[in-house]
């Protein structure tokens, strides 16, 4: 294992890579400057609003009150086959919070159906004008073992990522800068704090991650976090290891998190120099692969989730809710039967037929139409 200082937080840099549509509903928000009652929900991108702003990633600590965000759909054991695109909503602004209806929402970009080495998969696309692609799970995981079967990009500046991200920016990462296809990088963050000493570690010696399917896992337990490649553990962190010895705060990811799959441009001029370098340099938009396909891509075949909630939910529980701090700087998390459905979908004014037309067009889906 080789430590380097060149690691990045998806949290910090996704903001550049995904200049995500934010209706101009309201102010920016954070925990010291939370939203007002008019637009009570602080979205994952740090803007106040209502409707879908209250869903996935809505930050309870930066929203008007602790219960302004819609309750978060509870973890469910699952093996998600991503080629079943009927379970993927092409534009998250149309999501109403019903996690039984969709497993994934596309927050940015687009996907296509494909097959690679005989395995059906989706390709997440990256283009010069359109930017990258980001999918988020509709359900949260509050500890559990999560595996993604994927093939990375192989182009300098193009980053492939499989992460868990909580509403208050606890984060667990597998990331793959595209100029290196025989390594993977594991990392984690607590409440968005960038540590003085990076927690990122490069795992070497993988067979080409562009050409071969690999299973990347993080096994996130209340007191430990283990990263695995093809079922073999490469790294374990204990919660105690993360104690800030000055404050006594345990800086270990501990809040319910969505799973996010992405490809994003680290090597573009709007990114900070450190990110460009970490990503392997500037993207070459004249790369023959880009010219011939019309996009860069990363392939995702499946995601499996084995939940490990610290306590067992009862049959009527549907969601997680935040409570006051259970320990130093750590909000308490409880099960609840509160609905995860948002009462105010963002579709006001759009007829059903216009909506289905729009949804049909939003994602270009072709069966076997991509030569990889």
Ligand X SMILES: *[C@@H]1O[C@H](CO)[C@@H](O)[C@H](O)[C@H]1NC(C)=O
Gap between the Cα atoms of 190 and 110, Å rounded: 29
238-252 burial string, b = 16+ CB within 10 Å, else e?
A: ebeebeeeeeebbbb
Looking at residues 63 to 92 of the shown chain, list those that interact with ligand X (rule: CB under 6 A). 77-79, 83-85, 91
Q: Which residue has tokens 């750590």?
A: 330
Q: Are 217 and 228 in contact (CB under 8 A)?
A: yes
Segment interacting with ligand X (CB under 6 A) among 11-19, 147-155, 158-166, 338-346: 338-346
Q: How far, CA to CA in Å, does 355 sit from each of 1, 86, 264?
A: 50, 16, 28
* Among residues 174, 252, 322, 335, the one that binds ligand X under rule CB under 6 A: 335
Looking at residues 210 to 229 of the shown chain, list those that interact with ligand X (rule: CB under 6 A). 229
DSSP state, residue 82: T
Task: Give whichever of 166 and 336 is closer to ligand X, judged by the CB atom.
Answer: 336
Q: What are phi and psi of 241, to 5 degrees?
A: -60, -25
Distance in Å from the first CA to the final CA of the chain? 31
Gap between the Cα atoms of 42 and 66, Å rounded: 11
Segment interacting with ligand X (CB under 6 A) among 11-19, 254-262, 289-297, 325-333: 325-333
* Among residues 120, 282, 293, 372, the one that binds ligand X under rule CB under 6 A: 120
Q: In the bound complex, what is the minimum distance in angstroms from residue 160's beta carbon to ligand X?
A: 14
Which residues, including other chains, have CB under 8 Å from residue 93's CB and lie 6 or more apart? 21, 52, 346
Q: In the bound complex, what is the minimum distance in angstroms from residue 83's beta carbon to ligand X?
A: 4
Work out the angle at residue 275's Cα, subtended by the Cα atoms of residues 267 and 91, and round it to the nearest 5 degrees.
65
Looking at residues 243 to 262 of the shown chain, list those that interact with ligand X (rule: CB under 6 A). 243-245
Binding mask 183-212 for ligand X (x = CB under 6 A): --------x---------------------
* By CB under 6 A, residue 236 contacts ligand X: no
Task: Give whichever of 91 and 167 is closer to ligand X, judged by the CB atom.
Answer: 91
Supply the residues annotated as catalytic.
Answer: 171, 175
Task: Name the site residues for ligand X (rule: CB under 6 A).
Answer: 6, 21, 28, 30-33, 61, 77-79, 83-85, 91, 93, 98, 100-101, 108, 113, 120, 179-180, 191, 229-230, 232, 241-245, 277-278, 280, 304, 314, 316-317, 325, 329, 331, 335-339, 341, 346, 362, 365, 367
């Amino acid at each position: 294992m080789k430590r380097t200082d060149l690691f990045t937080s998806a949290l910090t840099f996704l903001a550049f890579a995904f200049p995500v549509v934010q209706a101009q509903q309201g102010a920016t928000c954070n925990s010291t400057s939370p939203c007002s009652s008019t637009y009570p929900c602080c979205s994952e991108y740090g803007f106040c609003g209502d409707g879908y702003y209250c869903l996935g990633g809505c930050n309870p600590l930066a929203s008007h009150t602790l219960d302004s965000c819609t309750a978060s759909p509870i973890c469910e054991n699952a093996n998600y086959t991503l080629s079943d695109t009927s379970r993927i909503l092409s534009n998250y602004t149309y999501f109403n919070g019903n996690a039984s209806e969709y497993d994934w929402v596309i927050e940015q970009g687009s996907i296509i159906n494909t097959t690679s080495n005989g395995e059906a998969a989706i390709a997440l696309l990256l283009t010069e004008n359109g930017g990258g692609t980001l999918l988020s799970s509709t359900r949260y995981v509050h500890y559990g073992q999560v595996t993604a079967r994927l093939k990375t990009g192989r182009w300098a500046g193009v980053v492939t990522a499989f992460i868990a991200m909580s509403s208050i920016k606890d984060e667990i990462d597998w990331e793959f800068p595209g100029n290196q296809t025989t390594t993977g990088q594991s990392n984690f963050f607590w409440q968005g704090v960038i540590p003085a000493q990076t927690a990122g570690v490069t795992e070497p010696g993988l067979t080409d991650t562009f050409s071969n399917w690999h299973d990347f896992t993080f096994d996130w337990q209340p007191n430990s976090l283990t990263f695995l490649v093809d079922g073999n553990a490469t790294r374990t962190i204990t919660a105690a290891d993360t104690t800030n010895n000055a404050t006594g705060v345990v800086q270990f990811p501990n809040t319910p998190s969505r799973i996010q799959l992405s490809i994003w441009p680290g090597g573009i001029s709007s990114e900070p120099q450190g990110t460009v370098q970490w990503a392997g340099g500037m993207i070459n938009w004249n790369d023959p692969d880009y010219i011939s396909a019309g996009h860069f891509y990363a392939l995702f075949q499946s995601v499996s989730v084995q939940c490990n909630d610290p306590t067992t939910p009862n049959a009527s529980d549907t969601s997680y809710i935040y409570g006051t701090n259970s320990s130093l700087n750590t909000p308490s998390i409880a099960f609840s039967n509160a609905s995860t459905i948002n009462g105010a979908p963002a579709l006001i004014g759009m007829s059903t037929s216009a909506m289905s037309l729009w949804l049909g067009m939003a994602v270009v889906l072709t069966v076997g139409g991509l030569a990889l």
